[in-house]
Amino acid sequence: MILWLGLGVGLVTGIGLSKWHGQPYRSPPLNHIWLVLIGFLPQFLVIYLGNNYVTIPDWLAALSIVTSQLLLLVFAWINRQVPGMLILIVGLILNMAVMIANGGFMPINPNTAERIVGAERIASFEFGSRFGSKDILLPATETRVEWLADRFLPPVWLPYQVAFSLGDVFIAFGAFGILAYQKSST
C-alpha cells in the first residue's frame, strides 16, 4: 500500500511540476525495465498462487521472495543515476536484510498483526508460521533486526490496515522521487 501511495503521489507531483514548467511530463529514463517484471514474478507467484490455489513450501516461498528482492535491487543499481533511486535502494537493502536474517520472510509481531486481522484470528497462528504471503509471525524478542520488521501501521481510522517496514518507507519515498522529479528544460 505504501509503495502505491509513493508511486501515485510521485506521478501526480511529476505531472503537476511538468505543467508548472510548461513542458510535457517525461517518465524517468530507466534501463532494463524488464528486470522489474521478472523481479515481481516470484512475489506474484507466492502472493497470489501461494494463498489461493496451491501450497508453496516455505523454503520455496522464502527463496522466491529473496530472489525477487535481489532482482529489483539489481534493476535499481543499474538505474542508480535516476533521482530518487538511491533512496529506493536503501529501502530494498533494509528489507532484504531483515528478511534474510529471519529466514527469507518479513517478520511481523503478534500485536501488529492483531490490528490487521483481529485477536481471534491471530490466536490460531503459531509463532514462526507464515502470516499472509510474505510475513512470518514472530514476537519481537525472537525477531532478528526487529526495528526493520513490518511494525508500522496507518492510523486506525483508515479503512485499510496493512503493516509496513522502515524499508517500505524508503522504497515509497524513492518511488515518489523517481516519478516526481522533472528536469526543467529552461
Whether pTM exceeds 0.85: yes
- The residues near 128 (Cβ < 8 Å, ≥ 6 apart) are 136, 137, 138, 142
Q: What is the pLDDT of residues 158-167, one digit of tens each?
A: 888 899 999 9
Question: Are β-strands 130-131 and 106-108 bridged in parallel, bridged antiparallel, or unpaired?
Answer: unpaired
The answer to whether 45 and 65 are in contact (CB under 8 A) is no
Burial class of residue 113 (count of CB atoms within 10 Å of its CB; 0-12, 13-18, 19+): buried
How does pLDDT run across 137-171, given as a tens digit for each residue? 999 999 999 999 999 999 989 888 899 999 999 99
The per-residue pLDDT for range 31-89, each reduced to its tens digit, is 999 999 999 998 888 877 755 445 788 888 899 999 999 999 999 999 999 999 999 99
